Structure 1
């Protein structure tokens, strides 16, 4: 859709990823007029590289998960010169869920109460019990597959049965049993049977590079067809330059740039931002001449407390056939053995483990990046290739504690295709995270050896697409950007529904929490619309 009505909308949504998709569907289903502006475009699952023999090479170019490498029209530059990370990001309908592994994990109750439990960081203004009914609703809507009863969580179940854990999952689980460590069948936003408009998973194991058969609950498939059927309008190729405000300081729409470079305006009674933990502060910092430090930034915290969830991983090779080409990837099994604090380990908080099959030979070779050329190539390539079907990867989500020194700011020296500033990241991992990485790597080696691995390879640390914390929620406007409902303290009709509102990152994948929070916020917006201040 390219032409829009000139009449004022009820709600403008910015960003068509998980948060924007859920908010758009929720509000449109309740009769509100909704338009979502998305700077990227739709992706056809059939165009995904997984259908081609050279898929691993294609994921290092046009289909790269790193925008600086991909350099598409919808991407904006990320300056990571002063960062320990080059984070994953995708700009398009479905956002990062197009490339996510669909590990569908709820935050643990302790993740909301880190100050109370561990005496560090801040508690959230909401708890697990506040999100539980919204977790349940989203699970049912997208067809999450899993097994209820995990003792690490409060009681809950899933709408669809879990995927088979396969020979690899069985062997790794046996190793965990020997050690007496927690494991559980993987919970995945990948229907284990055909569900709504999504096909049944065929276990190609390419989830993190986009499902080529449309069997993964990426939000372009799981939510957007239902949102548009409910009346929401989605405009692609629409890059938002700034949120506009009226004389009362209320949001009244946005200025956006179309694919032909034309500047356009849209008016709305409320604005919902869903640009992710980098894109949302970027828009706020570009917005509104009345606030030179950025919109909704009286606290000075817009763009601060960036959390990126470092990812560690250890690959094990086995003599037994593990059928490691089978997905989901996705997680076959997960472990929360080390997810909560045990001070005797030398660090606070923890990590969730996921067992995943390698994507292919190049993925296996990635675990040798720090080795010499001679140790990586020649006969070593052929040796490792022979183990591709007999190898498994334990991967960890490292709880990344917030620090105000980890920031997103504007990079005016590097601009996107519309001439708008890029984003600069200042980000350093702390000693707590480094100690946690060392501990998790050592325990993963132990887990592989208990399962019978003949060799283990510890990969260099990578960063995830979990972009969190840069517009945090809280009750005090002096120490937070939005309130417990995602409403900006400074702008009563501006809401944020992405990972930037998270106070702490937790030890698990965040998309289930982002979707649940968006549903909660959008439901609140709908139910309190009569009481909200809107532009005059």
Structure 2
């Protein structure tokens, strides 16, 4: 394995097993940068799936404005949740579902997130209502699409002269329908407890990065097997959120941790038995 240190010096490191954990942008970037004569399209990429099926979770925010102080800064950042995801009723016009998570932000944080790029009297009015505002973050299951992908930039380089990653993402029609439903549901929740008005914040550029080195039973359908071992390179493992095949709606950190622990136990046994 070749790598660059912080000063840009190239090193060679022998390893019986390599575990890559750069998550859903840097992991595929590294694999795509590591092409060989055997893997001209990128390491472990015989399927062509490295970098594809990038997911980031559907998001949006609903703010409720009340006639009396709410003081949301006193609470936990995310203290409550309504798990709409458990319903899964396609008759609503979309598959899957979303979480509505209470979100408590300080004044500076809210100023950055309530209306990204906002300016002028309408934006100032949102901040003036701070004490009387409650927030609800929407996080939902976005659909994996092969066209949503990480690729290498052909012209822009990093400080080491290596191509930076390009990230392309388009909403699926299912995502758009789900977001509008979630906005309306969040507004109804606040109206039910006395909100006078509400405000919807559009989705941010990214939240939870997932996919791009997906698990699959068949090598032609993905990048890694159920243990996170790449189909093509038997001593190369992926140990991050890029192995997800779908995003569900919940924050993914604990699932990533569970998969890493499961993978570590598998590697320990494989080393003991000489499988790798």
TM-score normalised per structure 1? 0.49
**Where do 1:62-77 residues align within 5 Å?**
none
1:423 partner SS: strand
Counterpart of 2:15 in structure 1 is 268
* Consecutive unaligned residues in structure 1, runs of 5 or more: 1-253
Q: Deviations over 1:212-243 (max 9, x none)?
A: xxxxxxxxxxxxxxxxxxxxxxxxxxxxxxxx
Counterpart of 1:530 in structure 2 is 272
Deviation at 1:320, TM superposition (A): 3.1
Counterpart of 2:89 in structure 1 is 342
CA change 1:376–1:333 in 2 (3 A) is same
| Aligned match for 1:512, one of 244, 254, 270 | 254
Is the Cα–Cα contact under 8 Å of residues 310 and 464 in structure 1 kept in the other structure? no
CA distance in 2, matches of 1:505, 1:429: 14
Aligned length in residues: 275
2:56 partner SS: coil
* Consecutive unaligned residues in structure 2, runs of 5 or more: none
CA distance in 1, matches of 2:85, 2:23: 27
CA change 1:450–1:364 in 2 (3 A) is farther
TM-score normalised per structure 2? 0.93
CA change 1:474–1:340 in 2 (3 A) is farther
| Aligned match for 2:55, one of 307, 312, 327 | 307
CA distance in 1, matches of 2:9, 2:243: 31
CA distance in 2, matches of 1:372, 1:419: 38
2:263 is the alignment partner of 1:521? yes
CA distance in 1, matches of 2:16, 2:85: 46
Deviation at 1:376, TM superposition (A): 2.5
CA change 1:488–1:424 in 2 (3 A) is same
Q: Which has the higher contact order (CA 8 A, sep 6+)?
A: 2
Deviation at 1:533, TM superposition (A): 5.0
2:176 partner SS: helix
Counterpart of 2:196 in structure 1 is 454
**Where do 1:486-505 residues align within 5 Å?**
486-505=228-247
Cα RMSD, aligned residues only: 1.9
CA distance in 2, matches of 1:369, 1:279: 26
2:161 is the alignment partner of 1:424? no
Counterpart of 1:466 in structure 2 is 208
2:84 partner SS: coil
CA change 1:286–1:368 in 2 (3 A) is closer
Counterpart of 1:415 in structure 2 is 157
Counterpart of 2:3 in structure 1 is 256
Q: Deviations over 1:113-159 (max 9, x none)?
A: xxxxxxxxxxxxxxxxxxxxxxxxxxxxxxxxxxxxxxxxxxxxxxx
1:457 partner SS: strand
CA distance in 1, matches of 2:112, 2:215: 41
CA distance in 1, matches of 2:67, 2:121: 24
